[in-house]
Structure formats: C-alpha cells, structure tokens
Chain A
Amino acid sequence: MNIVVCIKRVPDTAARIRVTPGGGIDASGVKYVISPYDEFALEAALRVKEAAGSGTVTALSVGDAASAEQLRAALAMGADDAVLLQGEVGMDGLATARAIADEIGERRPDLVLFGMKAVDGDQQQVGLMTAELAGLPAVSVAASVEVEDGKAVCHREAEGSIEVLEVPLPAVVTITKGEHEPRYPSLKGIMAAKRKPLAEKAAALGDGRITVRDLSEPAARPEGRIVGEGAAAVPELVRLLREEAKVL
C-alpha cells in the first residue's frame, strides 16, 4: 500500500495576518505549520498503512525551500520519505494540481490523500483537480478512509448526512477532521526523521492563470454595543434586530 499525502506549509491559524504594501503578507513573527487538514490526511495515511501492515507513506509538498521544514515534521510523525517540488505557488490551484499530478504519474501510488482545504488560500480545489488531471476517481471531504479488497471505503461528510462511498484504487481522497487526531511525533520519530530521504526537484507548475491584483485587510467591523444584562435585555435586543438590523 503506497500512499502519497500532499501537505502545504501555511501560517499558523493563530497568526495575525498583516498585509504588506506590496500585496503580500508580512511573514515576520509568523509561525508556519502543516495545514491542519493536511495533518489529518497524514494521520489517515499512517493508519491506512498500519492497517495494511506494509507499504510506504510519502509526504509531498509544492513550495519554496522553506517547505522542507513541514516535510521534516511529516517524517517525524511517521511518513517514510518526502518529496519537495520546488516552485513558486500562487493563487491558481490548477498549477499546483499540475505539479502534483505530474509527480503522481511517475510514482503511481495506490492512494493519494489531500487535506479538504489548505487554510491559507481556502480554495478547496487542489485535490479534486489533481484527480481529474491524473485521471483518478476521487472522493472529497472524507471523515474516514479504510482500504479493503483494493477499494477505499470513505465516510463522506455530505450536507446533513454521511455517505458511505467506495472507490477502487488507485484513487484520490480529500480528508476532513473526523476522528483524525494527529499523533505527536515521538523523540525517536524526530531523530529518525533527520535520516529519512527528502528528495527535491523542480515543480512542473506551468503558468498560473489566477493572479492577485491586490490584498487588503478586512474592514474592521463597526463598533458594536452591549444591549444589556441578562434576560432583561432580550426585548431591547429583539427590537434592535427587527427595527435597526432588520434581520427578523
């Protein structure tokens, strides 16, 4: 069972995002992490491999040299090897998907796992686009994935219900939280990670066709007000919702 997990380096969700005049973000003082859903995907991959009893988990990232830090973290969590596709990643998820599909085409893994979305661009698209480019069937937003008889069985979080879907391997699955509490790397894992292979090559991104014109910080919400205390404030609150906000 050979699995590729795609992980992206993103600012920590606790980070305050400051926009620079050039239309980028100020990285100083920002801690970078593996995007949370990608950690869930990595956890899912490790469990599938453990259940299969053999195979490899390869962590893959597209980005600049700094992404090696997140790949090392993935190796410390238990991935067997890692590959960094070096290139400049922008807003066009299709370009990222192209680079990943290219690599998938060479490696031909049984299963390719993605996070449901990366929490920087919030595009929620790269996994499914990669599947289309690679000609693989795909299931999105899986709360769990298990492999049986050459099929991936997924619990997909649909609207208001859970769909149990099965898809023949090789396949793409995008992962949501579910029961995927990511494991902490052990000290041994961290030591071992230093010796695990991390390959680097150029990413076949092609031209991105979605470009950022400008980036700004959201307008501050107008100062709100405390309507009152306790249940006694309710009539006034309801009046404001009706007459001022006009939302009732």
Chain B
Amino acid sequence: MSNVLAVIEVKDGAPRRVANEVVTAARALADGLGGEVHALIVSGGGASPDALGAHGADVVYECADDSLAEYQAEGYTQAVAGFLDGRDYAAVLFGATSQGKDLAPRVAGRLRLPLASDVTGLEVADGDVVATRPVYAGKAIARVHIDASPALVSVRPNVFTPVEARRPGAVETVEARVDPSAWKVRRREVLGGSGDRPDVGEAPIVVSGGRGMQDPANWGMLEELRDALGPSASLGASRAVVDAGWRPHAEQVGQTGKTVSPQLYFAVGISGAIQHLAGMRTAGTIVAINKDPDAPIFKVADYGVVGDAFEVLPRLAEEIRRARAG
C-alpha cells in the first residue's frame, strides 16, 4: 500500500501546531508514493480535526476512549499499535515532540519495526522511504534508507512548514483497542509547570540566555523579550547556566540538551561553544547579543549586536512589541 498515516498530537482538545507539520510531511510523501494521507487522533474524544483536512488529510480516524484523555504511554502505544494491526501503510509519521519521542519508539518496538527519529527531510526513492537526519547533534547529516513497511518516522518540529492542501478530511470513528488493566506505570502526581509555553524543543521562537546574564534574577529581561515575541516563544539556556542551577535542564539547548530548529533563535550572553552550536545551528534566523565582538556565536549568527545585554534587551523587547502591534 502507498498510504501514509500521520499520528496527530492533541493538546487541550485540539490538534497541536506540529500536527499540521506532520500532515504536511505525510502529504508530500503520499504524493510521491501515489497514496492517501490518513490522520489518526488518539484522545479522550471531541478533538476538532478541521485543520487536518486543510493540510492534506484524506481521512481522519478518531480513536477515542475516556482512558486516553491525557497522554499515557502504555495506553497510547496500545491504541496506535492496535490501529495499525491489519492495516497497510507505506509510512507512519509522528511528531518528534516530547510526547512523540516517548510514543514512537514504543510503537516501533511493539511492532518490531525500525524507526528513523527526528528527521528533517523525507523523500521517496524507488518506492522506498529515505529520510534525512542530523546526527552528532547536527555536526553531520545522514540520509538513511528505511527497509521496512510501514517505514516509521518521527519528524522534527518547525522543519516541515505547514502547507494548505485541501482534502476531504472525512472523519471516521474507530474503536480504541486499549486494556487499562495491563498498564503498569502509575502517575502519582504532577509537579510544577504551568505548561502554557511550548517546550524549547518545539517552540518556533526561542530566547536563550547564557552566563553573560550574570544572575538568575536577570531572567526577567529575557522573559520580557519572550513575552514581546508572543505566545509561541519559549526560553532556552546554555549548559553553563543549567549547571549553575539558574535554569532547569529541560531548557538546555545543545548536544547534551535539546536540539532545536526554531524559525528565530536569540542567543543572549552565550559564547557559542561547539556543544551549544550543535544544538541550534539549524535554526532559521539566529540573533546573537554579546559584549565580546570575538565571541564564536557571531560566526553562526545572521544578525549580531555587540553590546551589554542589559542595555540591549529592554530596548529590543520594547521595539519588538511595537513592531508586532503595528
């Protein structure tokens, strides 16, 4: 079969932005294979799938169950693997979000299928799926051939720009083949986190601070810039400030943190060590603010401002707020 399945991530009852990227990637692949795009929504029910048809889904399968209202690895693995049982797809695409990075390898393991993780490009060669993946945190780029059907892939957020490609997107309900009695992991509680900002690995705009910010108390200035940039902007950090305990490891960008590809990346008071550059060099536009004109970060920055972050940041937040308002 030449159809492609896009596994849709839902948050607060609606497909997330990354879902449109996954459908867009699936559409391009299906066009290359001469097949259809099917989208699979696993949820507690009621997720509005309109945008999926707009981005190229021929059919949307809703696989809903009360037990799946929140992401639960074992339940979602059962639901996706159960859906795939007896169906034929050339490829199954996930978003390489924090949820997708948990779900895709489990589904792959359960189905005994290989998985190409966090890909930045997909093509069809002689009827097979070939994926492009950054390796060594982006210090090299591999093109890999997936010799399996379906080819399982997770796609890196922010790379496959959503394209409008209207298709029916007809909704069909499917049974959720889940068995909660088999779930072994129990959630005791959830600590902290408002969770209203995207994860730094998924955010289209990232504002990262480094040791040049000098004190955790100064992060208010970075937050102000982030807020000026709108709700899709998130904070990032260099390892130096994570090691110092100023910021959580979840915000660390780099080879031993998150690898990010936002459309816009601000590096403030970050020198640009090789491990940091590895994690952000595929960003669309990079802005560096550093008081040292010889800082290596300027070698990868599209736009650099040499100066004191404490002078530049307030002005920048103000000008961006004005630009976005006007």
* A interface list, Cβ under 8 A from B: 11, 13-14, 16-17, 19, 25, 36-37, 91-95, 97, 119-133, 137-141, 143, 153, 155, 157-168, 171, 176-178, 208-218, 221-222, 224-231, 233-235, 237-238, 240-242, 245, 247-248
Which of B109, B143, B146 has the largest number of chain A CB atoms within 10 A?
A: B109
Q: Tell me which of A14, A132, A162, A242 contacts B106 (CB under 8 A).
A: A132
Contact B275 A128 (CB under 8 A): no
Residue of A nearest to B109 (CB): A132
Q: Is the CB of A94 within 8 A of B264?
A: no
A133 to B140 alpha-carbon distance, docked (Å): 30
**B113–A224 touching, CB < 8 Å:** no
Q: Are B142 and A212 in contact (CB under 8 A)?
A: yes
Known contacts A138-B106, A177-B256; is A161 also within 8 Å of B308 by CB? Answer: no
Residues of A close to B185: CB separation below 8 A: 137-139, 165-167
Q: Answer whether A158 and B98 are a contact pair too, CB < 8 Å, given A164-B191, A215-B140, A231-B312.
A: yes
> Shortest Cβ distance from A43 into chain B, in angstroms?
14
In the complex, B121 has a CB within 8 A of chain A: no
Quick check: B303 and A241 within 8 Å, CB to CB? yes
Which B281-326 residues sit within 8 Å CB-CB of chain A?
Answer: 281-282, 284-287, 293, 298-308, 311-312, 314-316, 319-320, 323-324
Between A166, A210, A211, A229, the greatest number of chain B beta carbons within 10 A of the residue's beta carbon is seen for A210
- A11 contacts B136, C-beta separation under 8 Å: yes
Residue in A140, A161, A227 whose CB lies within 8 Å of B193: A161
Do A215 and B142 touch across chains, with their CB atoms under 8 A apart? yes
Q: List 29 A-B contacts (CB under 8 A).
A: A16-B139, A91-B116, A93-B114, A122-B134, A128-B105, A129-B108, A132-B106, A133-B112, A139-B185, A143-B249, A153-B188, A162-B191, A163-B191, A166-B186, A209-B148, A212-B145, A215-B135, A216-B141, A218-B139, A218-B281, A221-B302, A224-B286, A224-B300, A230-B311, A231-B315, A235-B319, A238-B323, A245-B284, A248-B320
Question: Interface size (B, Cβ < 8 Å)?
Answer: 94
Do A37 and B130 contact each other (CB < 8 Å), given the known contacts A226-B305, A231-B315?
Answer: no
Shortest distance in angstroms between B256's beta carbon and chain A's nearest beta carbon?
A: 5
Q: Is the CB of A176 within 8 A of B249?
A: yes
Are A224 and B144 in contact (CB-based, < 8 A)?
no
Which stretch from B52-60, B173-181, B194-202, B214-222 is at the chain A interface? Answer: B194-202
- The docked-state distance in angstroms from the alpha carbon of A212 to that of B116 is 11
Contact flag A164-B190 (CB < 8 Å), given A125-B104, A212-B143, A248-B320:
yes
B115–A94 CB distance below 8 A: yes
On whether A91 and B142 interact (CB within 8 A), knowing A14-B275, A128-B105, the answer reads yes
A119–B264 CB distance below 8 A: no
Chain B residue with the shortest CB-CB distance to A128: B105
Q: In the complex the two chains form, is A230's CB within 8 Å of B312's CB?
A: yes
Q: Which of A163, A224, A229 contacts B298 (CB 8 A)?
A: A224
Known: A125-B117, A132-B109, A218-B134. 16 other contacts (CB 8 A): A11-B136, A119-B255, A124-B118, A129-B106, A130-B109, A132-B77, A133-B109, A165-B185, A167-B186, A217-B141, A218-B140, A218-B281, A224-B300, A231-B307, A240-B303, A241-B320
